[in-house]
Each structure stands twice: as C-alpha cells, then as structure tokens.
C-alpha cells in the first residue's frame, strides 16, 4: 500500500476517513498557482489556456441540457477551443449546471479538486447565484460561491447556448488578462471553504483534498 | 383725450383707482381672509398699472389683434354692492364687472375714433382689460361654479 | 448483417454538401424570439407599485423598493419592483398579474458577471440596454389571472325604482360578494387613499374567509359609519384601485355594505369593542353629522363623556337630510347611529347652538369642543330673477322629502347643477312624478357627481342637457310657473392645461317654462351661531377654515372637522376628521398618557 | 450470474448470490455520477467479473430538489412554473399534467383552442425529446455524426417553442386554465417547414444509424424486455410497446384532442435496444404527422383561457385526483390531493424513469459487457431528474 505522504508543517486531517483509508490519500494542502516569472511567458500560457477550454462532462443540474446544443452542430463550441472531457484530470473548466444538491455538491468538490490547475468554474443559471428556483429547498445549496470559487456566472433559466458562447468568450478574455484566480482563491481561503462544505455535507467520508 | 399719452395716462389712473377701491373695501370688511383677498386684488390692479406704464415707455407692446377668450360669466350676473360682509363670490363678481366695464369703455371709445395709432392703443387697452376679466372669470369658473 | 449495413453509414457524406446548421456568430445573430421572456422592462410611469408581482413571484425574486421619484404620488405606493436575477425563473407570472400592464419582458437574455451580488435590477430605474426593447413577452390579449370585470350589483329596474323611495341597490348575496372579494390584490393603495384609511384589504379578506364579524370589527376601527359608507361613500379607494387600471376596480363600497348587511344590529354590542373606563373628561360636539358622531364615537371609546348638540330632530346631518332614502335608507343610517348612542354617546336633538345653547357656555362647561356643522346654505347663482318664488334649492327639497314634507315641485322641473345634490334632487323629483331636465354648464363627463348617479339618473328618465348656462330667470304668465333663459355653451380648452371652460354662445339662447326650477349649484356653511369675533379668531375664510394638526383650531379647546374644514366635503372625509379630532382631543386632554399610548401602538 | 430466460426468472426478484469481493476475482466499479456514459446525474455501482457485469445497483439522489415538498408551499398558480423543472428535457408534460389535475379539482373546463394548442405543444415536445434521444442513443454507441444532426435539429424545434411560448427549455406555456397565448403570425408555415425538414432528417438517420453494421451488431439482443416483465416491473411506453404490448394512454384513455387525431399505436416484436430505438424513430415520425394534424385542425381564434378566479388567493375545494398522460417514456402521472386551502396538500409525481432506471436497469444490466451499459441505459430512455424530483 501507499505510504502516507507527510507535508512539511501544516497537514490536513482527512478526518472523514477511516485509518485504513487515510493511508490512501495525501494529507498535503493544496498549493496556489504561481505564474511564470516572465510576463511574456505567462501571457502566452494564458493565451493557450484560454483557447483550449476543456469542459468536464459532469452535468450537475438542469444546465446540462443546453450543453448539448452548445457542443453540437448548431452552436459548435469546438470552434472556440471548447471540448468536453470525460475525466477531471484532463479538464480545465468546471461547468456547474445550475442547482447543486447536497449529494452532488460532494461529488462536485471531489471532481473540482481533482482537476489540474489552472482551473476555472462557470456557474450556469440562477440557482448558483442566489438559490433560484430551489431557494427554499432542503436539499440544494443556495449561494454556490460559499463552497467553491466561481469565476463567472451566467444567469438565465436556462441560459441559452448563445449566452453560454458569450460566457465562454468572456471567460477567455478574463483568462487572457490573467484575472481568473478562482483556484488560487480556493487555496487561500481553503479552511473557510472546507468549513462551509462540511456544514452542509454531513457524511464527510472523503479526504479533505483530492489531487 | 385725444393723444395716445393722454389715453394711457387715463388708463393708468383707472388702474390706480381700482387698486385704491379694493384697498378701501378691504379696510371695511370684517374678516381677515376677505381682507387678504381684496388686497390681493389690489395687487393685481397694481400689476396691471405697471404693464401700462411699461407700454407708455415703449417697453411693452399692446396686442389688439390677440384673441382673448370671453367666458361671458359676468355679463349675466346681478350686480353686487360692496358691503361689510361680502363673500369671495361677491368680490369676484365685483372684480369681473369692473373689468368688463373698463373693457366696454375702451372698446366704445375705439369705435368712435378713426383708424390710426389712437384706435390701435384703445383696442389694445380693451384687450388688456379683457385679459384681466378672463383672469377673474376663470377664477370664478374654477372656484365658485364647481358644482355647476 | 448485410453489405447494405456496411455501406449505408457512408451516406453521411451526402450531408457534406448541404447548408450547415451552424450559426456563424451565435452571440450576435440570434436575438430572442419576438415574444421571448427575457429581462424585465417596467414602465415606471404607469406602474403604481401595487406589488402584485411580488406577491405572485414564487421565488421571492421581486422586492418592492422605494423609488424616490415616485414617492407621494396619488394612487401610487411609491415602490417599484426590483428583480433578483439570482432568483427569477422568467416565468412571466409577474407580467401576467401586473395590474397596470406596466411590466413586460424584453427579448434580451445575456447577463454575465463574476459577481454574484450584482444580479439585481430595478426595472425602469437602473440603466440597462434592454429598457427600450420593443420586442419581448407581453401579456396576450384575452389572458387574465384576475377577472377584469366586477360582479354586477343587483338593482331595481328603472321603472320599479321610480315607484317608491325604496333602496335602488339590492346588495350582493354571499356568492357574489365572495367572488368580488376575490378580485382584490391586497396592495393597500386604497388604504393610503381612503381619507379614513380604512383597512380595506383586510376586511375584504374577511369576506373571503366568511368571517363577517371580524370584518365589522376592522371597519369600526376607522369608521363608525360602515352601513352608511357602504352605500354612499364617494369611494376614492376605488378610483385608485389598481385592478381598475385595466379592468373595473374592486367594488370596495359594495363589499363594505355586504359585511354590514350580514351582521344583525343586535349583535353589534357583542362584536365591537366597548368603551374603556371613564376618564372624567367632558366633550361637547356640535352637529350630529358624520363628522360629529365619528368624533363622538371615538371619544366615547376612550372613556370621555360626550354630548352631541344637534339642531334637527334626528341625527345624521347631511346623510339624513341631503341623501335621499333610495340611496341610503333611514334604517341603515340608524343602524350606525344607534350603535354610537348605544355605547353611551348622548345626543341632544333640537338644540341649536346660538339659540338654545350658547357656544360660549359650551366652552365654559366642557373640556373640549368639536365643531362639525357642515355646509348647509345653498349657494346662489347670482343671476337676474333668482329670487322668484318658484326657484327652489335642491337641499331644501331633499330635506323636505327626508322629513316627509311635500316640497311642491309641480310636474315639470328643471334642475341646475351637476353635482350629487343636483342628481339627487332630480331623482327625487322623478319619484314625486315630475318630468325632469338637468341643465349643466359643462359636459356630462365634467360633472362632479358620481358616474353611477349620473347613469342611474339618466336611466330613471331625467334629461341631462349639458353645456347649458342659465342666464336669467323670468316670470311666467302663470304665477305657479317660471321661465328660465339659458344659452348653449361651447367648450374651450384651457391653454394652461386646466379643465376646459364653457363659453356662452349668445346667439344660441333658449327660454323654457317650468313648474319650478331647482338650483343645486353648491352650498356653503352657516356660521351664524358663532359671533363675528369667534369666527375671526378661528380664522374662518369665507365659511371654511383649515385646521392645524389633529383638527385643532387656534382656540385652545376647539377642534373642527367635516365639510367646512376640509377640501373634499364628503362623508368619509368628515368621518376621518372626526376620528382625527378624537385623537387630537385625547392628546389635548391627557397629553402624557396618549403620547405613550401612541408610541406603544407604533 | 442470472440469465433472464423464460417466465420464472423474469419474476424472480431474489437477490443475486453475494459475491466474495475479497477473492480478488471481482471488481467493484462506480459508473457516474461524473461519467459521460450516464444519462444525466446518477450512478451505477457495478460488480464486474472481467468485463462482464454480474451485479448492478443504481444510485440516485444527486438531483433531488424536493419538488413535492416545494409544491406544498406554493400557491396553485405558482406551481406550474416549478413542475416543469422536474423533467428537464421534457418539461411540458409536467405543465400539462399539473394544470390538468388542478383543473379537474377546481372544475375548470378549458376552451377548445387551448385543448388543441396543448396537444400541439405536447407533440412538439415529444418530437424535440425524441430527436435528442436519437442523438444520445447513437452517441452511446460511439457514433457522433447523428447526435450532431439531431441535437442541432432539435434546436429548430426549440425555436418553434421559443416563438410559441417565449422560452426554449422551460416553456411554462400550459397554465392552469388554458395556455398563455395563441400562435404568433407565420408560426404555422415555419412549423410545417421544420416538420418537412425533420422528416427528411429522420430518413437520413434511419439510413446511417439503423442500417449501420456496428450499431446493429451492438444493440441487437441487448437488454431484452420480455412481455411477462411488463406488469411486474411496471414498464410503460415505448419500452413496453417494443415487445408487442399495446399500451398507449393516448389511445387507451384519450385526453386532450387525441381522440380527434388520426394515428395508430406502434408496436414492436422483441424489445431489445435496437427494437426500442427503431420504435422510437417511428414514433418520431408519428409525432410529425400528429403535429401536422394539430396545425390543420386547431381553431385559429377564440379564447385560449377559461375564466379564472383571482389566482393570488385561489383556493381549490378538497379532493384528490390522479391524471396521466403518455410522454415519450410512457405513462406520466400526477396524484394530487387538495384540502380546500390555497395550497396543495400533497402531490405525487409518477415518472416512468423511476422503474426503468432502477428496477429494470438493475435487472437488464446483469450479464452485459461494461461497454454496452451506456447504450443499454439510453435505450431505456430515462431521465434522472425525473426519478428523484
């Protein structure tokens, strides 16, 4: 079995796991993304990132319904460098498709944490903004940015593919300008995010951070 | 009264007399509210006088061609005597009838003089009085004839 | 599996030569459909802030926020909807329910932001590009979420009603009342508009619940004349009811009447609040009209000893002597007055101030005096011949009929005026068997009388001659008859935007002979019971005065209210004056106690 | 390993033999919720022997929003905006059934024009839903051309919706009391054009998809539903019809204007993935015909909404009702109880996905290759948001 990797000083508790499972996961804290020291190189990297936005194929809510038209012939998002990927390890954009139920939120967090940095989150629809349709439901979270950093909100119910395209372009603009630092925000406010997450996810049987 | 200036002087004097009249009545009425209204009327006459003074110096043009609406309210009302306890309605009737009399005077005079500057001025004064009459008649229409 | 199965997939290549589906510039080329439900547009000028959109929004996406530009407008709550696009689901129910049809949707759908707190929008106030969008969702013609038409009031037919002085309106039955009550959107704009600030939405709610006793309690909090007001109120509430912007306003007055009709008079004592313990203060009230009795009721509720002085033989003032019984049956008025007396208000009838009792003695003997003597002197036309014996006043005729005296009007009468008194005089004359012509100097649409009354008046066979200016009354050959000369008027618009003015056309004069002419062009107050000094001291101006806060006059003990102390001169304003004066008198009599009480209430 | 052969095994609800996981012979694999081969947000817990599935458990709850509870605290008019969110790709059936239940309980009769507009709306929805489903089916077997065609073409149908109702996905058009608007100008012509195009497209799809050797090889014989499974498992809709069971609410208990429309129930012989897909293709064609009939027969004018009370305080007399309609996946039902107040006492939504995705899926998955699980799932046509509401 794997050896427990010990970080230098500040380590995660992974307290949701059994002793046996603790062996399976790292307890190292996530690290913020450091831009390249040379600005031109960083700019080039941002340009490249902006033009190859790979979306994690995880339809978390109703929003997924408009991703199909977006990715197929009519709106053909591939021409903007957008592609769907089956696994978090290959993806750079997480599209929160509307509401997140508590059970899904847990999977969203795991998937998000597994994504390689720099990574970006787009939230579709009204529900992640302020609860939307399910603001009084017992099983959905209302303000999504309490649990994960969101780089861009696209309001609508559902947001049409056209506005998704517009949103992707906006995201590209932001990435190129180097303004998308949601992932770093997550690292910086890690404890705050974790405590919020744990407030709603009662059966926290997963490592504190997956990578 | 053959010259323009004479006519204007007369008209100005008439306005002053009217103002004096209202002030005089105001002295005699019993209620403070009515006093205030009559003094307001006097102020209105003084304003008319100022306009005429401006006409005399040439700062203001009379407009005999202007069409002034005649509501013909005062024409059919009974005459009101000034007394100690006149009402607002009475005061308005007095004012309207005074203005109408003035209008008729200038108009009649204008009919008697040949065309020219003088006639122009007389007609202009008549119109000016018609305006004043309209002011009071409109007030009467608005305030007194509410249900009617 | 066949060869065909292997080859047919290659037919996809056929499509390579067809027009592609792809939209070239998706963000630019594809606006929403003409009826798309995008971001909201609100014509803030038309909006009255009724808040129906907020009520119907299932996501709490709409907040009514105060917008300064619209504060204090009549019939307008001063609030405007603010949309939260972190909640809105674009269902458009708000557009469908909007009473003023001011709310609509644009076909704009794009709003991208990195700040989740930024998705707020006060339509018509915040500057957004879709504000002037011509396209977008509108409520379809013929689509309603609230019935636009009110329930018809059952009424006597015109023929039937002419036969007697029986009440013309028959009142809703329970089903009709519930249906009508259902139309209320509970915005409360009526509450703000009602001079007495009656709690209209709540008592309408009590009708829906079938709890009429609660309805009566709610009404008595602000108005001790519900039976009366349920019949003859000038109902400014209905004129601002937002349901009336596109349809017909909720029949608030008839609903009020319905509640009163449901509760028997003998139950009043049980249902309504009783006066609190005696305070030992004595208040005198002059005039047992709506103003005086309203003050009496609320003062008595507070435990003061109240004595009302009334010159006539019965109470009610103008309600009894000015409103004919086919509009307000005496029994209904008595229902209100009897409850007021039943809680211990003492009314001294046939006691005219200035004659039977002196005003000065009231000042001496009572802790406070409330005056509400109304407008009882008919105005005069000031035209020649007006003093003719056959020129009668409308008020006099109504009073005669109310007291069962024959006014002696004859068979053919002319009524001059366009107010409610003129209409009443005309309809009373019709009931007395006369043929009635109404002469009014402006257009029918300018008449100050209630639209309903004008309509009913016409129904009952009165001829209304609009734009007719009486110029002279002439003796007729017969002493029992009288001639009136009147001229046709043409309406001239006021260049300053006021109402159009009638101008007499001297070439179009008519002379007609009548048995009598009823002049009903307005009335003024009779203040003979006050000495000149007192009138001066109270600052009466041509029979009217404007009281200070809490209906207080410049005299320490004296409060006023009713027609001679307000601009609107209707029953409901008088009632509020009375109620307000009662509050004022309470504060005046016992300042510490009542300010504390009010603080507690707020 | 259970083989589904014959009558007795189909009704055999016994738990499969427990497998000895510690032996190392078996692998437990979670497919989903984050997985491209899953229709929507749900997951399958698979036990594998090599690449053969020996046990399948469906896990749901990722999309639960508590609709039935949410509805209990919204007024009758507000609820119709909520219910359409229950089944994302097919919202209008919810709108219709909810409205229908409310109308039944409150005794509202909707006008003729509303009946036709509703029918047309539902058929358009069926068409859009099937078009997307065909894409999904094809995609699940690794072919990405057909999804590009049909999903894009579905968008044209959505354009029609946008014109007719004002929205693309959540139309909120069928409202208690009728519908919200008539048809816009020129709608009929555009609708007919799109129907013509759809017909042509379906011919092409049939050619390249259903005559595709790979598709045939993989889908034939996959997940066979036998007639004796129908009732015990509560299988409805095309899944049932594909094995010859003639069961279609539109025919059996006609609602709306279906008794005035000319169509036959389509049935298949043996319900495997291919047969079910082919049946749906034919039903898609039938849809087009029904929409055309609606366009022909729908009244052009007249009221489209019944007289309504003030919806702000709309109370409905106490009562209960069950209403149903045939959606693309079969019987969709609403059970509603009212207690005379302004709110509904209880609503239960019965979506066909529930049985199909849980009991049937768990049964059919066993014995199949792991690569076919996505195709099998799509062939059952299930919507996770509808399972859990």
The per-residue pLDDT of chain C, averaged, comes to 86
Give the mean model confidence (pLDDT) for residues D110-121.
92
Per-residue pLDDT of D57-67, as tens digits, reads: 888 888 888 88
Q: Do C93 and D303 touch (CB under 8 A)?
A: no
pLDDT at position D335, please? 93
Rounded to whole angstroms, how far apart are CA atoms C517 and C395? Answer: 13
Regarding whether C231 and C163 lie in a shared domain, the answer is yes
Residue with tokens 């009231």: C362
Coil, helix or strand for C437?
strand
Q: How many CB pairs under 8 A join B and C?
A: 83
Residue of chain D minimizing CA distance to C183: D310
Instruction: For the beta carbon of residue C102, count every other beta carbon within 10 angstroms.
Output: 24
Crossing angle for the helix pair C420-431 and C451-459, nearest 10 degrees?
20
pLDDT tens per residue, range C449-497: 888 889 889 988 899 998 888 888 888 888 888 889 888 888 888 777 6
Shared domain for C412 and C513, answered yes or no, is: yes
Flag whether pLDDT at D323 surpasses 90.
Answer: yes
Please tell me the predicted confidence (pLDDT) of residue A8.
53
* pLDDT for B148: 62
DSSP class of D225: B
Antiparallel, parallel or unpaired: β C482-492 and C463-465: unpaired
Q: Which CATH number describes the domain made up of D67-349?
A: 1.10.645.10
Q: What is the CATH number of domain A55-200?
A: 3.40.50.12280
Which pLDDT value is given to residue A1?
A: 38
How far does Cα C10 stand from its chain's mean position?
A: 79
The partner residue sitting opposite A139, judged by closest CB among D64, D88, D158, is D64
Does residue C543 carry a pLDDT above 70? no
Structure tokens at D216: 């045939």
Separation in Å, CA D385 to CA A64, B109, D62, D326, D364: 11, 96, 8, 18, 21
CA distance D268 to chain C (A): 19
D-interface mutation test, from C22, C35, C51, C88, most D Cβ less than 10 A away: C35
- In the structure encoding, which two tokens stand for residue B20, read together? 């004096």
Residues C517 and C530 in one domain: no
Instruction: Give the DSSP H/E element, type plus range, for residue D323.
Output: strand D319-327
Question: Which residue spans within C215-363 are E strands per DSSP?
Answer: 282-286, 305-309, 346-348
Distance (Å) from the C-alpha of residue D6 to the closest C-alpha of chain A?
Answer: 38
**Residues of chain C with C-beta less than 8 angstroms from the C-beta of B31:** 535-536, 540-542
Three-state SS letters, B93-131 = HHHHHHHHHHHHHHHHHHHHCCCCHHHHHHHHHHHHHHH
* C423 preceded by a cis bond (ω within 30 of 0): no
Q: Is D90 within 8 Å of D79 (Cβ atoms)?
A: no
Please choose, from the candidates D172, A123, D303, D327, the residue with its C-alpha nearest in 3D space to the C-alpha of residue C116. Answer: A123
Q: What is the pLDDT of residue D119?
A: 92
Q: What is the mean pLDDT of residues C510-529?
A: 86
Angle at alpha carbon of residue B135, lines to B129 and B139, rounded to 5°: 145
Chain D residues touching A73 at Cβ < 8 A? 148-149, 151-152
- pLDDT of C132 > 60? The answer is yes
- Dihedral Cα B10, B12, B13, B16, nearest 10 deg: 160
Q: Residues of B numbered 73-112 whose beta carbons fall under 8 angstroms of chain C's beta carbons: which are they?
A: 73, 75-78, 80, 87-89, 93
Average pLDDT over every residue of A55-64 = 83
Cβ contact (<8 Å) for D217 and C8? Answer: no
DSSP code of D143?
A: -
The Cα–Cα gap between C242 and C184 comes to 9
What tens digit of pLDDT does each residue of D253-304 get?
Answer: 898 889 899 888 888 888 888 989 999 999 999 999 999 999 998 888 888 8
Summary count for chain C: helices (H), strands (E): 24, 21
- CA D276 from centroid of its chain's CA atoms: 14
Alpha carbon of D237 to those of C392, D283, D328: distances in Å?
A: 86, 11, 7
Q: Which of C309, D40, C520 is nearest to B148 (CA)?
A: C520
- Beta-sheet pairing, D344-350 with D330-338: antiparallel
| Residue C463 belongs to some domain of the structure | yes
pLDDT digits (tens, 9 = 90+) for C399-453: 888 888 888 888 899 999 888 889 999 999 998 888 999 999 888 888 888 888 8
Inspect the interface and report whether the beta carbons of A64 and D170 lie closer than 8 Å.
no
Q: What is the pLDDT along chain B (148 residues), one digit of tens a residue?
A: 567 778 788 888 888 888 888 888 888 776 677 777 788 888 888 888 888 788 778 777 777 777 777 777 777 777 777 776 677 778 788 888 888 888 888 888 888 877 777 788 788 888 878 888 888 888 787 777 776 6
- Is residue C22 in some structural domain? no
C498 and C545 together in one domain:
no
In chain A, where are the structural domains located? 55-200
Distance of CA C509 to the CA centre of its chain: 38
- Among B31, B138, B148, the residue with its CB nearest the CB of C535 is B31
What would the two tokens of residue C560 be? Answer: 């006023």
CA-wise closest residue to C463 among C432, C491, C429, C492: C429
Same domain? For C324 and C370 the reply is: yes
Q: The tokens 């009447």 sit on which residue?
A: C257
In which band, very low, low, confident or very high, does the pLDDT at D1 lie, cut at 50, 70 and 90?
very low
Choose the weakest-confidence range: C272-276, C485-489, C531-535: C531-535
* Per-residue model confidence (pLDDT) at position C43: 87
CB contact under 8 A, C89 and D303: no
Superfamily of domain B4-143: Ferritin, core subunit, four-helix bundle (1.20.1260.10)
Contact status, residue C537 vs residue C545, Cβ threshold 8 Å: no
The string of pLDDT tens digits covering residues C149-203 is 888 888 888 888 888 888 888 889 989 999 899 899 888 889 988 888 889 999 9
Among D170, D181, D208, beta carbon nearest to C143:
D181
Among residues C478, C504, C521, the one where a domain terminates is C521
Domain span including residue C177: 158-270
Report the distance separating Cα C233 and Cα C575, nearest Å: 11
* Inter-chain residue contact C112 with A153, CB threshold 8 Å: yes
* Average per-residue pLDDT for chain D: 87
Lowest mean pLDDT among A23-27, C340-344, D5-9: D5-9
* pLDDT tens readout for residues C16-40: 888 888 888 877 778 888 889 989 9
Q: Which CATH number fits the domain that encloses residue C127?
A: 3.30.70.3270
The residue written with tokens 């208000």 in the block is C345
ipTM metric:
0.81
Residue C138 lies in a domain: no
* Inter-CA distances, D191 with A69, D112, D162, D183, Å: 20, 21, 12, 11
- Distance, in Å, from the CA atom of C154 to the CA atom of A78, rounded to the nearest integer, reads 70
- How far is Cα C236 from Cα D8, in angstroms, rounded to an integer? 79
Q: How confident is the model at residue C600 (pLDDT cuts 50, 70, 90)?
A: low
Residue D329 has pLDDT above 50, yes or no: yes
Report the phi/psi class of residue B133: left, alpha or beta, with left for phi > 0 and alpha for psi in -120 to 50.
alpha
Three-state secondary-structure class, residue B55: helix
Are C66 and C79 contacting, i.e. CB atoms less than 8 angstroms apart?
Answer: yes
pLDDT greater than 80 at residue C102 = yes
Put simply, the answer to whether A153 touches C87 (Cβ < 8 Å) is no
**What is the C-alpha separation between C488 and C454, in angstroms, rounded?**
20
Which of A60, A72, A136 lies nearest to residue D70, judging by beta carbons? A136
**What's the CATH number where C197 sits?**
1.10.1060.10
Q: Same domain, yes or no, for C232 and C250?
A: yes
Could you tell me the pLDDT band of residue D42, with boundaries at 50, 70 and 90?
A: confident
A144 vs A123: CA distance, rounded Å: 8
Closest CA to C50 of C101, C15, C2, C16: C101
Confidence of residue D325 (pLDDT cuts 50, 70, 90): very high
What CA–CA distances, in Å, run from C534 to B83, C131, C310, C548, D343? Answer: 20, 60, 20, 17, 63
Chain A environment of D148 (Cβ under 8 Å): 72-73
């Amino acid at each position: 079995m794997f050896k427990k990797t010990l970080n230098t000083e500040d380590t995660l508790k992974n307290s949701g796991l059994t002793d046996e499972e603790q062996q399976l996961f790292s307890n190292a804290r996530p690290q913020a993304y450091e831009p390249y020291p040379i600005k031109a190189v960083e700019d080039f990297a941002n340009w490249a990132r902006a033009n190859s936005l790979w979306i994690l194929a995880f339809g978390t809510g109703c929003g997924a319904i408009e991703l199909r038209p977006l990715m197929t012939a009519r709106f053909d998002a591939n021409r903007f460098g957008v592609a769907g990927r089956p696994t978090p390890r290959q993806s750079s954009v997480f599209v929160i498709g509307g509401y997140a139920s508590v059970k899904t939120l847990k999977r969203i967090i795991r998937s998000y944490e597994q994504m390689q940095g720099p990574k970006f989150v787009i939230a579709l629809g009204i529900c992640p903004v302020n609860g939307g349709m399910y603001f009084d439901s017992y099983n959905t979270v209302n303000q999504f940015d309490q649990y994960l950093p969101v780089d861009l909100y696209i309001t609508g119910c559902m947001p049409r593919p056209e506005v998704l395209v517009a949103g992707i372009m906006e995201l590209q603009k932001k990435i190129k300008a180097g303004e998308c630092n949601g992932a770093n925000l997550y690292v910086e406010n890690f404890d705050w995010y974790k405590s919020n997450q744990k407030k709603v996810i009662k059966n926290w049987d997963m490592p504190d951070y997956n990578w | 009264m053959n010259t323009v200036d004479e006519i204007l002087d007369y008209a100005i004097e008439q306005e002053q007399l009217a103002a004096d009249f209202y002030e005089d009545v105001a002295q005699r009425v019993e209620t403070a509210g009515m006093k205030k209204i009559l003094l307001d009327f006097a102020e209105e006459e003084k304003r008319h006088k100022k306009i005429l003074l401006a006409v005399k110096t040439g700062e203001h043009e009379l407009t005999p061609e202007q069409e002034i609406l005649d509501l013909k309210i005062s024409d059919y009302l009974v005459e009101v005597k000034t007394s100690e306890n006149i009402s607002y309605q009475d005061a308005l009737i007095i004012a309207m009838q005074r203005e109408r009399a003035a209008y008729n005077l200038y108009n009649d005079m204008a009919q008697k003089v040949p065309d020219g500057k003088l006639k122009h001025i007389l007609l202009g004064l008549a119109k000016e009085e018609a305006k004043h009459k309209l002011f009071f008649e409109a007030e009467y229409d608005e305030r007194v004839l509410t249900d009617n | 599996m066949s060869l065909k199965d292997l080859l047919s997939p290659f037919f996809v290549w056929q499509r390579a030569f067809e027009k592609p589906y792809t939209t070239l510039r998706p963000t630019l080329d594809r606006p929403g459909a003409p009826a798309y439900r995008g971001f909201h547009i609100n014509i803030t000028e038309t909006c009255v802030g009724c808040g129906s959109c907020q009520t119907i929004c299932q996501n709490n996406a709409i907040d009514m926020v105060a917008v300064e530009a619209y504060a204090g407008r009549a019939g307008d709550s001063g609030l405007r909807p603010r949309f939260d696009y972190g909640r809105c689901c674009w269902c458009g129910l708000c557009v469908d329910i909007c009473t003023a049809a001011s709310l609509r949707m644009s076909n704009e759908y794009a709003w991208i932001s990195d700040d989740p707190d930024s998705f707020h929008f006060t339509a018509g106030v915040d500057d957004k590009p879709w504000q002037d969008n011509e396209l977008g969702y509108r409520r379809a013609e013929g689509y309603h979420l609230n019935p636009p038409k009110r329930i018809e009031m059952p009424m006597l037919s015109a023929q039937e009603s002419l036969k007697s002085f029986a009440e013309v309106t028959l009142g809703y039955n329970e089903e009709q009342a519930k249906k009508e009550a259902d139309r209320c959107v509970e915005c409360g704009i009526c509450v703000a508009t009602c001079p007495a600030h009656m709690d209209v939405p709540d008592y309408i709610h009590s009708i829906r619940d079938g709890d009429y006793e609660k309805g009566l309690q709610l009404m008595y909090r602000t108005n001790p004349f519900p039976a009366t007001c349920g019949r003859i109120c000038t109902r400014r509430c209905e004129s601002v009811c937002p349901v009336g912007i596109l349809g017909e306003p909720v029949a608030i007055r008839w609903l009020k009447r319905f509640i009163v009709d449901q509760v028997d008079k003998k139950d009043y004592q049980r249902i309504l609040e009783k006066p609190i313990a005696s305070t030992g203060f004595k208040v005198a009230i002059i005039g047992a009209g709506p103003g005086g009795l309203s003050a009496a009721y609320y003062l008595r509720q507070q435990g003061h000893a109240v004595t009302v002085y009334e010159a006539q033989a019965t109470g009610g003032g103008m309600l009894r002597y000015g409103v004919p019984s086919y509009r307000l049956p005496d029994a209904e008025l008595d229902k209100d007055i009897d409850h007021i007396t039943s809680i211990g208000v003492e009314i001294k009838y046939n006691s005219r101030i200035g004659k039977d009792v002196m005003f000065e003695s009231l000042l001496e003997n009572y802790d406070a005096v409330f005056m509400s003597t109304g407008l009882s002197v008919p105005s005069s036309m000031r035209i020649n011949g007006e003093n003719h014996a056959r020129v009668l006043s409308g008020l006099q005729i109504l009073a005669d009929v109310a007291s069962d005296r024959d006014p002696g009007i004859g068979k053919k009468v002319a009524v001059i005026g366009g107010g409610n008194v003129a209409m009443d005089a005309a309809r009373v004359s019709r009931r007395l068997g006369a043929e009635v012509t109404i002469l009014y100097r402006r257009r029918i649409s300018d008449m100050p009388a209630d639209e309903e009354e004008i309509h009913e008046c016409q129904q009952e066979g009165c001829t209304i001659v609009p734009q007719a200016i009486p110029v002279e009354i002439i003796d007729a050959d017969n002493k029992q008859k009288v001639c009136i000369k009147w001229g046709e008027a043409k309406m001239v618009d006021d260049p300053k935007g006021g109402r159009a003015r009638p101008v007499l056309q001297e070439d179009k004069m008519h002379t007609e002979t009548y048995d009598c002419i009823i002049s009903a062009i307005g009335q003024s107050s009779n203040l003979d019971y006050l000495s000149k000094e007192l009138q001066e001291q109270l600052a009466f101006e041509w029979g009217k005065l404007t009281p200070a806060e809490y209906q207080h006059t410049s005299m320490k003990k004296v409060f006023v209210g009713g027609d001679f102390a307000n601009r609107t001169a209707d029953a409901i304003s008088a009632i509020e004056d009375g109620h307000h004066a009662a509050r004022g008198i309470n504060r005046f009599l016992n300042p510490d106690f009542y300010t504390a009480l009010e603080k507690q209430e707020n | 390993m259970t083989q589904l052969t014959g009558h007795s095994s189909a009704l055999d609800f016994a738990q499969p033999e427990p497998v000895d996981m510690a032996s190392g012979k078996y692998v437990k694999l979670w497919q989903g919720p984050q997985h491209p081969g899953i229709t929507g947000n749900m997951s399958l817990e698979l036990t594998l022997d090599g690449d053969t599935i020996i046990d399948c458990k469906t896990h749901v709850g990722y999309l639960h929003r508590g609709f039935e509870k949410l509805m209990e605290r919204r007024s009758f008019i507000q609820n119709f905006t909520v219910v359409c969110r229950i089944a994302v790709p097919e919202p209008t059936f919810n709108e219709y059934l909810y409205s229908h239940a409310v109308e039944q309980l409150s005794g509202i009769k909707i006008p003729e024009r509303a009946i036709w507009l509703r029918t047309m709306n539902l058929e358009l929805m069926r068409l859009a839903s099937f078009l997307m489903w065909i894409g999904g089916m094809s995609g699940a077997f690794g072919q990405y051309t057909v999804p590009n065609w049909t999903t894009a073409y579905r968008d044209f149908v959505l354009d029609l919706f946008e014109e007719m109702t004002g929205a693309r996905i959540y139309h909120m058009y069928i409202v208690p009391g009728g519908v919200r608007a008539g048809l816009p100008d020129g709608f009929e012509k555009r609708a007919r054009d799109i129907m013509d195009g759809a017909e042509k497209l379906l011919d092409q799809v049939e050619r390249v998809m259903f005559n595709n050797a790979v598709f045939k090889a993989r889908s034939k014989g996959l997940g066979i539903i036998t007639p004796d499974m129908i009732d015990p498992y509560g299988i409805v809709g095309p899944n049932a019809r594909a094995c010859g069971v003639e069961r279609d609410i539109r025919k059996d208990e006609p609602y709306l204007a279906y008794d005035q429309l000319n169509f036959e129930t389509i049935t298949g012989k043996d319900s495997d993935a291919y047969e079910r897909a082919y049946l749906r293709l034919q039903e898609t064609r039938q849809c087009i015909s029904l929409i055309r009939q609606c366009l022909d027969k729908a009244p052009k004018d007249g009221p489209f909404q019944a007289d309504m009370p003030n919806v702000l305080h709309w109370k409905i007399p106490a009562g209960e009702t069950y209403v149903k309609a045939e959606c693309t996946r079969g019987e969709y039902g609403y059970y509603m109880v009212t207690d005379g107040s302004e709110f509904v006492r209880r609503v239960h939504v019965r979506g066909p996905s529930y049985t199909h995705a849980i009991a049937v899926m768990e049964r059919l998955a066993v014995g199949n290759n792991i690569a076919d699980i996505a195709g099998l799932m799509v062939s059952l046509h299930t919507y996770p948001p509808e399972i859990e509401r």
